[in-house]
Chains A and B, each alone.
Chain A
Amino acid sequence: MNVVSRDIKNAFRSPMRSGAIILMLAISIGLILSMLVARTSVNSKIDEVKSKTGINITISPAGVMGFSGGGNALTSDQLATIVKTVHVASTSATLSDQMSTSDTNLTASLELGNFGARQMRFESASSATTNGGSTATSNATSADSIDTRPAPTPRTTVTGTTNPNSISTDGSDLTLTSGATIDGNSSALIALVGSDLVAKNNLTVGSTFTAYEKTITVKGIFKTGNKFQDSGIIMPLATAQTLTSQTGAVSSVTATVDSSDNVSAVITSLKTALSDKADITSQAEVAAASVSSLQSISSLALAGVIGATVAGAVIVLLAMVMIVRERRHKIGVIKAIGGTNRKVIGQFVTEALTLTVIGAIVGLALGVLVSGPMTNSLVSSSQSNTSYSTSTTRGGMGGEMARGFNRIGSNFTQVTSSITPQVFIIAIGITLVIAVIGSAVPAWFIARIRPAEVLRSE
């Protein structure tokens, strides 16, 4: 009779016990695989977030966020300081403004909706108070507004920038559907117009519109896919400064750092140089928070892998030690009639391997099934904290930062679990380690069983 088939048959001599061992092994191997998958997926996401959000720093005047808040715009001196800071590779400065119907002949393409209307009402009420009593008409309006406020009108955003590409939402160059881009350093009366605004006003490349009592020529039409952006106008920075009578002022500067390693150094020196006159934020800093929560998932998963490996090894080990103890006498007899240690150990290793292989097959199948949901629940449960903190800031914020947060936020939910061949090989390797540990210790016990004991009366 074949020795191997005899040993494999041995593994099933007690189906209940073998079943229990296989089941426990399968669970720990399934856990190993899904934890490995979670870890690899999260790690690759960490790399992705790091590489995408690495090197931009946003500097805005203290107290200002988009169109909300107060304070003074950044001055050209401060801009010069930023440009001169070590490790700053390039900068793009923007000055944003909103045109009402009295500033332009364009019809805004953004619907105010409930949210926008509420904000607008709030603003017109406060402006009425400040201007109160200056003219008879505004006096009348102010008096009326107590009972019936004027219907708020949507506005059109003008962004003056030294780098039109910085308006792009996805980090790449701005996508133009027609025309050509404009030079951000020019001061000509030219503009790029968002596709929604173009559609609303029947504009084409070369057509003109009025803004701040000047005639502006459309040089290109852009589309970002972001409704807010696509309802706006992009102009050279100097043009926007002149038109809004804010020469030299900027509302936001994005500094691109030469390498992601220097981001925190640049932030530190900018904070010193600009002291309390500017708020400095970087996606890297925001991302760091996200990355650190991802990293804790990753180390949690690693701990899971180690824990499940230890558990698996202990299961096989205890099972085999139990079997060895049970067959102690039989092993003594086999040795007494001339069976070598190698033969006896070989039989037990075959048994342990049979159990481990079956456990591994069941466990890996289990792991493939649960690793997707497991990764998602690991990520989303820890992410709920992070997304809470981002959403609270997101409300009051317009422009670049909100887009940045959105980008990180959406990246975050996109942690996809994928079972790579590499992960599979590692899982199989770990299973083999379990089998080896689970066999080596019993083998040592087997070698120590003295055949003379079979002669001792039981």
Chain B
Amino acid sequence: MLTVKNLTKSFTDASGVVTALKDVSLTVKTGEFASIIGKSGSGKSTLLSMLGALDIPTSGSIEVDGVDIAKLSASQQTAYRAKKIGFVFQYYNLIPNLTALENVTLALEFGGMPASKRKARAEQLLDSVGLTAKEQLRKPSRLSGGQQQRVSIARALANQPAIVLADEPTGNLDSETGKKIFDLLHKLSRSENTTILAVTHDMDIAGKTDRTFKLKDGKIVA
């Protein structure tokens, strides 16, 4: 269960104060697949970074399974990111000098899995997203965009997180590949009972999710 109450986030930079999120409140049940839509600059990424403890809210609370992550210490936040959250990025963000397998292994290492078990678990994850044994040993530069996003989904799911946060996971893929990736995320949320929040521009995709939140100028509408 994810409960966000009165979440506000302001940035102060050279040009002054920008309020990216204004008094956002929402609830997502465990295992639900929710989508977030909204124009560019409406605060979608900012909301995800708050939920993923990449940044600290200016005010408000974020409760994940009864724990307010806004009140965690820096090292507790890191541990929360490692164990409870899985990220999927628009540009995949795989580590370029590590193979697909090593990228997943690295997440398992951060999640605290003993070294002896990591390889088997990583192979199993990459199998489940549809990468062949050969492809698993390639570096990201030798994989297609769709394959890289599959690796990144495998990495996000590595430590059986409570929530997967996906920021425009299909934004850099052609619509057919994008649909496959989305179906993959959907399937996994069912089988693993993982809560998924995905930002998207694609209304077709948004229509298939359990719930849709629309952001406008940092506020939830509809």
Contact = CB atoms under 8 A, between A and B. Distances in A.
Contact of B78 (A338, A450, A452, A458): A338
A339 B110 contact: yes
Contacts of B105: 1
Contacts of B167: 455
A315 interface: no
A457 interface: yes
A341 B79 CA distance: 11
A348 to B, nearest CB: 14
A340 B52 CA distance: 15
Interface in B29-66: 45, 48-49, 52, 54-55
Interface residues of A, number: 25
Contacts of A343: 110
Contacts of B212: none
Contacts of A334: 95, 106
A455 B82 CA distance: 17
B118 to A, nearest CB: 9
B89 A455 contact: yes
11 contacts: A10-B97, A336-B52, A338-B83, A338-B110, A339-B110, A340-B110, A450-B54, A450-B55, A452-B49, A455-B167, A457-B45
Interface residues of B, number: 32
B95 A452 contact: no
| In the A-B complex, the 10 residue pairs with the closest CB atoms | A338-B82, A338-B110, A452-B54, A452-B55, A452-B49, A455-B45, A333-B93, A338-B81, A451-B54, A455-B49
Contacts of A336: 52, 54, 81, 87, 93
A17 interface: no
Query: Helix, strand, loop or mixed for chain A's interface?
Result: helix
A455 B11 CA distance: 15
Interface string B159-183: 1000000010000000000000000
A330 interface: yes
Interface in B71-127: 75, 78-79, 81-83, 85, 87, 89-91, 93, 95-98, 102, 105-107, 109-111
Contacts of A335: 78, 81
